[in-house]
């Protein structure tokens, strides 16, 4: 079993689920009292948030590269970044070490293709929805049609994420707003929805909507376990 290195804390609200997901998945596969070999470097999200809104992506990338090297020095044998948005600077992580890096959009794209869905809605921060680091990978590498909310809806979702979810606030009114957005996108042909912010599945249960939802944090964590156990007899 390889040691999974996780860059977390973005936010800690969702990173705690990564720890649970990898350990439960290893136990499901190996049985007994087995658990995951993992390291998590959890960062101060306020610093990340400030650089994000200031558009200091190069500085952010250099910061992530440092974290990746710290995980490598600690014994990690593969790396995952426990957030969607900050994958915008994932190239810095890839270049910082020789360790395998699992991109969250690769894990998600593979899961969607396996479900036979062709058109999917993407919800997340404004950066995830509007920049092409996520949608380009899904469309070009996984042949998916990706639709995103309109401008006013993107602002609503972004505000809910940064003003509520990352601070541990999960409000019924916000849940209703996002469900309404998903329902509208379903009316435009979306066959499924990507919860492209790791806090969104905490707010929106799959039972709240009538199309399949893709929990990127769980998908990402489970794929990391698959990589960790590759070649191991189970």
Catalytic residues: 83, 197
Q: Which residue has the tokens 């994958």?
A: 87
Pairing label, strands 101-102, 78-81:
parallel
Determine contact, residues 3/77, Cβ cutoff 8 Å. Answer: yes
Which two three-digit tokens encode residue 217? Answer: 């944090």
In order of 98, 122, 141, 178, 222, the CA distances from 67 in angstroms are: 14, 28, 28, 33, 22
Q: Give me the helices (H) in 97-209, please.
A: 104-114, 126-130, 132-142, 151-163, 172-187, 200-203
Which two three-digit tokens encode residue 105? Answer: 């959009």
In order of 2, 51, 66, 138, 228, the CA distances from 100 in angstroms are: 11, 26, 16, 20, 10
| Torsion angles phi and psi, residue 149, rounded to 5 | -60, 160
């Amino acid at each position: 079993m390889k040691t999974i290195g996780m860059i977390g804390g973005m936010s800690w609200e969702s990173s705690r689920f990564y720890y649970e997901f990898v350990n439960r998945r290893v136990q499901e596969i190996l049985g007994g009292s087995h658990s995951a070999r993992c390291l998590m470097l959890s960062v101060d999200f306020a610093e990340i948030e400030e650089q994000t809104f200031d558009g200091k992506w190069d500085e952010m990338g250099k910061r992530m590269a440092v974290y990746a090297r710290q995980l490598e020095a600690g014994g990690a044998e593969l790396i995952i970044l426990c957030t969607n948005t900050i994958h915008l600077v994932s190239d810095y992580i890839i270049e910082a070490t020789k360790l395998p890096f699992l991109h969250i959009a690769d894990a998600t794209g593979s899961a969607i293709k396996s479900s036979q869905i062709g058109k999917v809605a993407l919800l997340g921060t404004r950066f995830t929805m509007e920049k092409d680091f996520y949608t380009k990978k899904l469309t070009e590498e996984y042949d998916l049609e990706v639709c995103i909310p309109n401008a006013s809806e993107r602002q609503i979702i972004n505000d809910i994420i940064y003003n509520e979810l990352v601070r541990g606030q999960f409000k019924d009114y916000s849940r209703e707003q996002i469900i309404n957005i998903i329902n509208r996108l379903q009316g435009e042909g979306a066959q499924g929805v990507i919860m492209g912010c790791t806090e969104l599945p905490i707010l929106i249960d799959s039972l709240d909507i009538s199309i399949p939802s893709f929990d990127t944090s769980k998908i990402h964590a489970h794929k990391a376990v698959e990589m960790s156990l590759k070649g191991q007899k189970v």
